[in-house]
Amino acid sequence: CFGDETATRLCKALWKRHAVAQELFQTRKVVAKALGLKWGAYHLARPGNPVGQANNFINFAKPGPDDLLALDIEDDDPTKWMSLEDAEEFVRHVHRRIGRFPVLYTNGKTAKHIADNKYKYRLLSRLPLWYARYKPDIGVHFPMGNWQGYALWQFSAKANCGRFRCPYRVAGTPNDIDVNVAPMDAAALRAQWPFGGLIDAQPDYLASIPLPLSRAAGLAGNVTLTYATVAPPPSFTEMVAMFSAGWAKFRGSLQMPAVETALRLPRRIADYLGWLRKEKPSASAVEAVPTDPVSTASTELDRRPR
């Protein structure tokens, strides 16, 4: 720390706070894993250098191969939070550092914006989704872009958990704790943890056609729509091949039919006599062979289709 007395005292106080927080983080991590629990860390994305934030996050958390990492994007407002373009670079740098991707923690509004612009945010739109929605049900939010569902759903927090009423209260905890659920049992969750890969990119369809619902099912509410499978549009390569084949067929229809090469008679007398003996039958041979009432050809050459 350097500068005037006030700046030096502030720097030392912040460094002490940072060192204590890091020590507590690592201590709690050891205790949690000793109890058989899974561990993870999240980074609250702020405006500024995304590579610097990623380095600071990894250096602080010191993640092991089984520790979940998450990028927390609270809103799509680059004046208050990390821009989505910077978030793409943050994710890319995390992968460069540790060889896997973080989970994306965000709300419905931001998730929908990313899903609607999945070609612009090719990494964010394929991260496993940690969905923040403080409602009693997930609703009809999925499928949404590449996300066919959530990896984790944060359904309870201080925002919807009061002193006397709470969607779910963990025994021994205050009402400001965040509670999450996963669409799988504990064994499957342990197997998928820490969600370090990318989800599959969904194919593009010409149209999304929902299958019809019965009146009774519609009135019952909380219906999950099922969409019919529609063939994807042809790729550019397929379109080029299709048009090339059509053009070749059209061009072939304009060409004149092939004409067989006319018979070239022998130029020399010896060749002509040899050809005459071979092709022209004798009078006795003609009388021995009955006349064909359909074909009057006298040589094998003349019997060819004309």
Q: Is residue 213 part of a domain?
A: no
pLDDT tens column, 216-228: 777 777 777 777 6
Q: Is residue 214 part of a domain?
A: no
Q: Which of 46-50, 70-74, 174-178 has the lowest mean pLDDT?
A: 174-178
Q: What is the DSSP letter of 119?
A: T
pLDDT tens column, 234-276: 666 777 777 777 777 767 666 665 555 545 555 566 666 666 6
Q: Who has greater pLDDT, 212 or 262?
A: 212
Q: Where are the beta strands (DSSP E) in the chain?
A: 40-44, 68-72, 103-107, 129-132, 152-156, 179-181, 209-210, 227-228
In the chain, how many domains are there? 1
Q: Is residue 301 part of a domain?
A: no
Tokens 């704790």 -> residue = 177
CATH of the domain at 89: 3.20.20.80
Q: Is 213 exposed, middle or buried (0-12, 13-18, 19+ CB in 10 A)?
A: middle
Q: Is residue 217 part of a domain?
A: no
Query: 46: pLDDT confidence band, cut at 50, 70 and 90?
Result: very high
Q: Which domain holds residue 197?
A: 38-204
Q: Who has greater pLDDT, 5 or 60?
A: 60
Q: Is residue 198 part of a domain?
A: yes
Q: Who has greater pLDDT, 137 or 103?
A: 103
pTM of this structure: 0.64
Tokens 């927390």 -> residue = 72
Q: Is residue 53 part of a domain?
A: yes
- Is the pLDDT reported for residue 187 higher than 70? yes
Q: Is residue 272 part of a domain?
A: no
Q: Is residue 67 part of a domain?
A: yes
